[in-house]
Chain A
Amino acid sequence: MTHLHLAVALDGAGWHPAAWREPDARPEELFTARHWAGLVREAERGLLDFVTFEDALGLQSAAFHRPDTRTDQVRGRLDAVLLAAALAPLTSHIGLVPTTNVTHTEPFHLATGIASLDHASLGRAGWRPQITSRAADAAHFGRRTTPQLTDADVLDSELIAARLRELFDEAHEVVEAVRRLWDSWEDDAEIRDAATGRFIDRDRLHHVDFAGAHFAVRGPSITPRPPQGQPLVTVLAHASTPYELAAAGADLVYLTPHSRADATARLDALAAATAARPRPLLRPLKVFADLVVFLDDRPGRAAARKRRLDDLDGAAYTSDAEVFTGTPGELADLLLDWREAGLDGYRLRPGALPHDLTAITTGLVPELRRRAAFRTAYTADTLRGLLHLPRPANRYASAGRR
């Protein structure tokens, strides 16, 4: 049996809004390096493929599309790229995948930031580009307006996608510009030729001259091509428009199926989007499913814990992803069942930290190993290596030769 890939999505004190109130949470430390270092080292002890860091330009909210004024949930985050960078020297194998906004930011800065994370981590960087449509986020920049979703819109992911198509199109341009900037230096551009006094071979650096409908970037990057050539681009996709973004621009996509049959249906929709957009440079596209997980060894305990947290928060926690409660063994059953639909792995969102992360590394991982479905040692040093993805060729390399 080939091994599953496992990633963990880290955010605050966990994905349940009341998780910060758990006895083993340290909510006063959420904005310290120590909190995050402990979590990522634990994930690396479990030999997981990578961790992701959530981020957004605005404060968290219980509503998808607008701010709230709640004071009983975690509010405030650190910049995810910088957070990932601070964890790079403390780890050696695990991939580090920050989320960044691509609607109000500069593609040039995104390209150099992620490339720099790849340099600092020696080839373990990934990236999750994310759009934002919140009017409140746009007001933080004062430069443009974005479509404001209504309460009715947010009930249907296809409606959301349709309303935000232009932002997705722009996101695709950002990904393309960033990838070109990563390629704008050939791997051997630095020659240090003392005889001729040349530090670089200027013919192996390239203006990218990206000109899209929304912006233009001249290039080349200020940062040499990162160790992986192209850090791993990952996209979370719930509907047709983001499937297209994933198909055209991503190396890895997170889907949110709610059953094995639903996984099959979503994979079919993704395959259709992929077929419609040839991706000669980027195949294969890895597919992970997202799950929120509450794990405890004794049957029924995880569900009871979630209910207790729901009571504290005043509402039953739901998510775009399936919410799983159960034992590590039951979760292993589910993971191995759904993967038959064609999944490469899973991104698990721990309901509460550190509890549900530790349950993954010390409960689920050994369980999967017993079933010969998970690695027993890291066998690659880069994130692409862990995922068995090749280092991409540089699109400009042949053009650069005199």
Chain B
Amino acid sequence: MPDHPSRRPPKRVHLAAQLPSVQHTTVWSDPRSGSQIAFDSFERLARTAERGKFDFFFLSEGLRLREHKGRLHDLDVVGRPESLTVLSALSAVTSRIGLAATVNSTFNEPYEVARRLATLDHLSGGRAAWNVVTSWDAFTGENFRRGGFLDEADRYTRAAEFLHAARALWDSWRPGDVRADAAGGTFTRADAGRFSYRGRHFDIAGRFATPRPPQGHPVVIQAGDSPQGREFAAADADVIFSRHSDLAGGRAFYRDVKGRLAKYGRTPDELKIIPSVTYALGDTPAEAAEHAAEIARAQVGPQTALMLLEALWGRDLSGYDPDGPLPDVEPLPDAVVTRGHTQFRAGRAETVRRWRESAEARGLSIRELAIEFAGRPDFVGTPRQVADAINEFVQTDAADGFIFVPHLTPGGLDDLVDRVVPLLQEMGVHRADYTGPTLRDHLGLNAPREPREPGGPREPREPRVLRADSLQEETP
């Protein structure tokens, strides 16, 4: 516990929602499960989150369909629209909720991404956010002009430079550069949009085509847990959403990340820690537990259990019974049978060892074990229990809030918003209504410092070298 929790006013809880994407989170076999493509689904989820006065609605990204054992993976939801396009459409049917898109920095260019994010910020009146990610393999590169053009270490220096270049582009228009003085005949300042950015990965210059976005800079989100990833977030991000689902792990992460901000001249409030979580509610604790077990069984069917084990073992296990014991063959920890996934990328041998120990100690089958490790919701309980748990995480500095990933589209958030959010509001830790128009307002983030000297060449800070696991292509 923190030293004197009673002496400070309660922290506000930040709430966000994510449309479940292409992991096995989505229980598509449920009769209530709707389209993951139809705009109606996005609209309903985003409106529900806005009804709950959430900070933002979040979409992940994928740039190559996943393949397992050399064929398209067919067990989970497949297919999604392009995030920024959907979020722009959502800007027309929502009015306050933030709109956060994952956009890859490996297979895009700063000029274009900065422009699209500035556009979303304009169209939404200051509600745009960008989750900066990078791809980690040439497999994804096969869909792009550039192919697999960087080695792994360089992808992360590119990500950092990419973000700095985007900020240079947003800064190239100062507030007030659009004069629109019809009588005087001046539409813009003469040098509006002039920029230059030089680094190891980018040498670009010219005029940026979109005026300064309402938030100055859209909110920057980062996911990543390695020391390098934490450093990147401390230096450059507004939100980090790495996942630490137990209190102790969350507090340690929180202390560590917030402790890194001072050396970048930032205060702890300038980076919000908002992990991504799943949940299951029930009228009684027992009912909630049963609901959670049902969800897990639906998420990890027999085929999915085997697939998860094959990804971990690095080999074909199709001869094994999902309801039988773990394979007696040894894993091939470096073999890749699943491409386009980020699960099990690092420390697979160690994971296999832990899974085996756990299975032996408790007599678990393949599927039971997979459910145990890959299917259990993070928050399980009555609405009161879940509200209390959320609040405890936040008040004891294990998180600043949560991104909730429902297991159903599009109705999956209804119970959370109808049953848990009012309790958080009663507790005085969640807003009764929005107090400002922009996502920065919701998050309590200051506007970025306004650029003073437009146009001059901008030398980047030396980008930090980030490890492969510090930025993920797939968000959880």
Q: Which residues of A contact B (CB under 8 A)?
A: 20-22, 25, 27-28, 30-33, 37, 56-59, 67, 69, 71-79, 81-83, 85-90, 104-109, 112-113, 115-117, 119-120, 122, 136-137, 139-143, 185, 190, 192, 194, 196-202, 205, 214-220, 222-224, 312
Contact = CB atoms under 8 A, between A and B. Distances in A.
Given A82-B84, A120-B81, A199-B75, 8 more contacts: A57-B115, A71-B190, A78-B122, A85-B88, A104-B109, A116-B86, A140-B208, A202-B71
A76 B206 contact: no
A31 B111 contact: no
A71 B189 contact: yes
15 contacts: A27-B180, A33-B92, A59-B193, A71-B189, A76-B188, A79-B210, A81-B85, A82-B84, A86-B88, A88-B89, A90-B92, A120-B86, A200-B74, A202-B71, A215-B145
Interface stretch (B37-45, B276-284, B288-296, B308-316): B37-45
Contact of B82 (A83, A89, A113): A113
B320 to A, nearest CB: 16
Contact of B112 (A30, A105, A122, A216): A105
A76 B39 contact: no
A143 B111 CA distance: 12
Contacts of A83: 88, 119, 123
B108 to A, nearest CB: 7
Contacts of B108: 106, 109
Given A112-B82, A120-B39, A197-B75, A222 B65 contact: yes
Query: 3 tightest CB-CB pairs across the interface, nearest first?
Result: A116-B81, A116-B85, A218-B142
B143 A192 contact: no
B412 to A, nearest CB: 17
Given A21-B182, A31-B211, A220-B65, A86 B28 contact: no
Contact of A82 (B37, B38, B116, B178): B116
A217 B123 contact: no
B80 A223 contact: yes
Given A89-B43, A108-B63, A142 B185 contact: no
B119 A78 contact: yes
Contacts of A117: 85
B72 interface: yes
Interface string B135-161: 000000011110100000000000000
A379 to B, nearest CB: 23
Interface string B212-246: 00000000000000000000000000000000000
Interface of B: 28-29, 37-39, 43, 62-65, 71-72, 74-82, 84-86, 88-89, 91-93, 107-109, 111-112, 115-116, 119-120, 122-125, 142-145, 147, 173, 178, 180, 182, 185-190, 192-193, 202-211, 301-304
Contacts of A82: 84-85, 88, 116, 119-120, 123
A197 B82 contact: no
Given A31-B122, A202-B74, A224 B79 contact: yes
A197 B298 CA distance: 10
B78 A199 contact: yes
Contact of A75 (B111, B144, B192): B192
A276 to B, nearest CB: 28
A81 B115 CA distance: 11
Given A77-B210, A89-B89, A219-B143, A28 B178 contact: yes
A142 B210 contact: no
Contacts of A140: 111, 204-206, 208
A137 to B, nearest CB: 8
A77 B206 CA distance: 15
Contacts of A33: 91-92, 122-125
Given A27-B182, A201-B74, A222 B79 contact: yes
The residue in B75, B89, B92, B144 that gathers the most chain A C-beta atoms within 10 A of its C-beta is B89
Contact of A199 (B77, B112, B173, B206): B77
B34 to A, nearest CB: 11
A79 B304 contact: no
Contact of B93 (A22, A89, A107, A116): A89
A107 B145 contact: yes
A57 B209 contact: yes
A119 B72 CA distance: 23
A78 B210 contact: yes
A119 B188 contact: no
Contacts of B143: 108, 217-219
Contact of B39 (A119, A142, A194, A197): A119
